[in-house]
Amino acid sequence: MTRFKSELKLTAQQEPLWQAFADKSKAEAGKGFQAMRERIKDDKPVTAPERMTQMEDIMKQRVAAMESVNETFNRLYAALTPEQKAAADKHFSNAGRHRHGPGRGGPGREGQGAPGAAEPRKG
C-alpha cells in the first residue's frame, strides 16, 4: 500500500479518500483468513455437503469484503487526475499475478515446470 500511495502522488485534497480506502482494505484483509482459521479450529466431523456450504459461506464473506473495498477505491479513483489514474491502472494491471515455482500452478492450469506445461514466455 505504501508503494502504491507513493506512485499516485496524492494531493492533500485526495488524502482523505486514500485514507478511507487504506483503512477499509486493512480492515477487510484479515477477515477471510480469520474465517478459515475458525473453520480449522472447529474439528468436529462434517459431511462433504456441509463442508462445501462452509466454503461457500467463506467465499460470500470474501466477496462482500471485496465489494466494500472496491466502493472506497472507486471514490478515490474518481478524484484522481488522468496521470494518477494511469498509475493506478498500471499498478492493478499486475495485481493478482503471482509467479509460481515449478509445478505450482493454480487449479485448472499447469504450473511452470509441470509435465505438459507450456514454455514460459520470453521478453
Query: Whole-structure pTM over 0.85, yes or no?
Result: no
For the ranges 64-68, 71-75, 92-96, the maximum mean pLDDT occurs at 71-75
Domain coordinates in residue numbering, the chain? 2-92
Tens of pLDDT, residues 6-37:
999 999 999 999 999 999 998 888 776 777 77
φ/ψ of residue 19, rounded to 5: -60, -40
- Beta carbons within 8 Å of 35's beta carbon, 6+ residues apart: 57, 58, 61, 62
Q: Percent of the chain having pLDDT more than 90?
A: 43
Considering only residues 1 and 120, tell me which one the structure prediction assigns the higher pLDDT: 1
Query: What is the mean predicted confidence (pLDDT) over 59-73?
Result: 92
Q: How confident is the model at residue 41 (pLDDT cuts 50, 70, 90)?
A: confident
Listed residue (13, 1, 6, 33) closest to 80, CA to CA: 13
